[in-house]
């Protein structure tokens, strides 16, 4: 077989195998969820009806949950843009004292999942928290203002995603356009709205989309605020009825359809194709040195936002250092200890969850690096037709809510071949994996969620490694690989000896992001791990917060350990990818 045809044969083989895997563990779970929402018989998933969807909109409690989820997403995204866009403009266009350090500090809020940050926010903003103790008031963000508590905590966590995308977009602008408008007499405000904002709109939309979908489907933060009248929490509590009721399916379908429609509307209004640049000058060379008072204002604004954003982290750290019961109606804890950190590592329940998360995240990372390398190679180096389909599917997990994916995996365990028979043209095929060692179960006497958790983590974080790999391959000349082939090396050897070492930094950065975000994954962990033996870190943190006495303090210490891990990861990925880190968080 000629070398050219041999290469095409291998490439199409990989292409088909990867598409089959994505179909089985990405499209199939989503399809089961959608099918369950329209099935006449929820137990078997057969038939068709719109009654379940109608009942969702006929129930005022469920409608209120949808309205609240939408309102949380809108306000979280709006607040994130209001905070992130001025920061990005200052960073891209001006010089001011401490800029390099402050640019790094902007990423700090990403190191703590917002649902863990809610523990710190409770200590600071609760009825018996620091703020009320300082002011002598009794305003409770976890009571009468829990809606705004959820919005603020999520916005302070997610605004760096918009900042990264906006900064990258601003860095790619041609300064000559702004200078030409200035020469024609346009003022700074007019230039911003007429030139800068339209040019960065696609990048801004990319970041805002992630924030909106994340906030719209976020489960952990409303749970921690005990905000039950919001759709993700209603779905979470409805899992107990998933085997016999169609309501959880229907509610999940409505959430998915709403997220997709809102994305498409936003794409049509704000995410239109960007304008092409004829030239891209160095932004660093065009930065304006602010006067001393302007520099102080810029530094103060960056520092103020960072301090405000890390307040939940500060609350978590202080709670982790507090003796149980020694921070109540006081500005600061009255007694400190390091025992909580020791308990967070040595407590049998905590240690087991850490071990579980390390194993699950590690396997998911290895799996993603292998699959992501193959997908990246096919997208950049191959001549396979239909690459756009593969690219879209590999990016789809960023656009599909994690809650929907997790629910889909639950549905998968209840359907053929793991549970329930399959009837095709009158022929019934039994669930041949039911009761075997390959059976996947979330509920039941002997659940086996580990394979599902690994798959869920890997699928959910696959876009990170694909984007990192593609970025590395696009910067690496294919001639090096061809030279190795001409010298007698086969394709696998050329990739292993030439390509992988050249893009190793990208693979490491993507792998680190996969590992750390898998370690702190919320939706999949809360839904798929139903028994304490299988709890990952985030599910164990949630369980500890529900336990009286020392529970919240051990949970905070576990959050600090996780925060430290993610901080080191993001710092390393930032060093390896630089400004391209923002491309990781794009739909």
**pLDDT tens-digit readout, 330-376:** 888 889 999 999 988 888 888 899 899 989 999 999 999 999 999 99
Give the residue-averaged pLDDT of 203-230. Answer: 87
Give the residue-averaged pLDDT of 179-204. Answer: 76
| The pLDDT value given to residue 374 | 92
**pLDDT tens-digit readout, 475-524:** 777 777 777 777 777 777 777 788 888 888 788 878 887 888 888 888 89
Residue 272: which pLDDT band, with cuts at 50, 70 and 90?
Answer: low
Contact 509, 351 (CB under 8 A): no
Beta bridge partners of 424: 427
Beta bridge partners of 46: 41
Strands 94-95 and 288-289: parallel
Give the residue-averaged pLDDT of 50-79. Answer: 93
- The token pair at 572 is 């390393």
Give the residue-averaged pLDDT of 200-224. Answer: 85
**pLDDT tens-digit readout, 12-49:** 889 999 999 999 999 999 998 888 888 887 666 677 88
**pLDDT tens-digit readout, 274-293:** 554 444 444 444 677 778 88
What percentage of the chain has pLDDT greater than the value 70?
A: 91
Angle at 27 between CA 22 and CA 29, to 5 degrees: 110
| The pLDDT value given to residue 140 | 73
Contact 115, 162 (CB under 8 A): no
| The pLDDT value given to residue 285 | 46
Nearest Cα neighbor of 35 from 480, 514, 415 is 415
Distance of CA 15 to the CA centre of its chain: 26
Position 544 pLDDT exceeds 60: yes
Look at the block and give the residue holding tokens 């306000």. Answer: 75
Residue 62: which pLDDT band, with cuts at 50, 70 and 90?
Answer: very high
Chain mean pLDDT for the chain: 83
Look at the block and give the residue holding tokens 């709109």. Answer: 201
Give the residue-averaged pLDDT of 420-424. Answer: 74
């Amino acid at each position: 077989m000629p070398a050219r045809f041999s290469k095409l044969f291998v490439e199409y083989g990989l292409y088909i195998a990867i598409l089959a895997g994505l179909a089985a563990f990405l499209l199939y779970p989503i399809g089961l969820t959608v099918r369950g929402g329209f099935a006449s018989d929820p137990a078997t998933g057969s038939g068709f009806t719109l009654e379940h969807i109608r009942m969702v909109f006929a129930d005022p409690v469920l409608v209120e949950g949808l309205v609240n989820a939408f309102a949380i997403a809108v306000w979280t995204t709006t607040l994130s843009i209001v905070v992130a866009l001025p920061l990005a403009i200052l960073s891209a266009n001006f010089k001011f004292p401490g800029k390099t350090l402050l640019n790094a500090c902007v990423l700090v809020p990403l190191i703590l999942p917002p649902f863990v940050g809610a523990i710190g926010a409770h200590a600071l903003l609760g009825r018996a928290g620091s703020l009320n103790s300082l002011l002598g008031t009794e305003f409770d963000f976890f009571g009468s203002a829990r809606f705004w508590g959820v919005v603020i905590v999520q916005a302070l966590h997610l605004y760096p995603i918009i900042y990264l995308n906006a900064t990258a977009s601003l860095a790619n602008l041609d300064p000559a356009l702004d200078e030409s408008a200035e020469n024609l007499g346009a003022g700074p405000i007019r230039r911003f709205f007429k030139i800068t904002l339209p040019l960065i709109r696609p990048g801004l939309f990319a970041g805002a989309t992630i924030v909106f979908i994340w906030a719209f489907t976020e489960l952990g933060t409303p749970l921690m605020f005990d905000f039950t009248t919001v759709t993700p929490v209603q779905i979470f509590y409805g899992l107990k009825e998933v085997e016999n009721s169609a309501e959880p399916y229907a509610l999940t379908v409505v959430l998915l359809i709403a997220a997709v429609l809102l994305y498409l509307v936003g794409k049509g209004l704000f995410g239109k194709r960007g304008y092409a640049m004829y030239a891209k000058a160095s932004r660093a060379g065009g930065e304006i040195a602010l006067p001393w008072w302007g520099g102080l204002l810029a530094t103060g604004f960056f520092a103020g936002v960072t301090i405000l954003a890390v307040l939940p982290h500060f609350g978590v750290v202080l709670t982790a250092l507090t003796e149980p019961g020694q921070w109540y109606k006081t500005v600061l804890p009255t007694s400190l200890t390091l025992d909580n950190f020791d308990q967070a590592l040595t407590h049998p329940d905590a240690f087991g969850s850490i071990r579980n998360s390390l194993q699950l995240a590690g396997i998911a990372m290895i799996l993603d690096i292998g699959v992501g390398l193959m997908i990246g190679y096919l997208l950049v180096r191959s001549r396979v037709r239909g690459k756009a389909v593969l690219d879209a599917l590999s990016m789809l997990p960023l656009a599909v809510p994690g809650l929907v994916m997790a629910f889909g995996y639950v549905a998968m365990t209840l359907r053929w071949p793991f549970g329930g028979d399959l009837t095709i043209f009158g022929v019934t095929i039994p669930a041949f994996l039911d009761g075997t060692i390959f059976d996947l179960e979330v509920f039941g006497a002997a659940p086996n969620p580990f394979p599902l958790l690994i798959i869920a983590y890997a699928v959910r974080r696959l876009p990170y490694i694909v984007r990192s790999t593609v970025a590395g391959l696009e910067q690496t000349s294919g001639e090096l690989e061809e030279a190795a082939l001409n010298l007698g090396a086969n394709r696998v050897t050329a990739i292993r000896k030439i390509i992988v070492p050249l893009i190793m930094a990208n693979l490491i950065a993507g792998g680190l992001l996969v590992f750390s975000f898998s370690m702190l994954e919320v939706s999949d962990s809360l839904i798929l791990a139903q028994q304490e033996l299988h709890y990952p870190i985030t599910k164990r943190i949630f369980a500890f917060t529900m336990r009286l006495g020392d529970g919240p303090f051990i949970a905070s210490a576990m959050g600090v350990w996780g925060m430290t891990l993610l901080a080191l990861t993001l710092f390393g990925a930032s060093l390896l990818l630089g400004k391209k880190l923002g491309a990781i968080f794009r739909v």
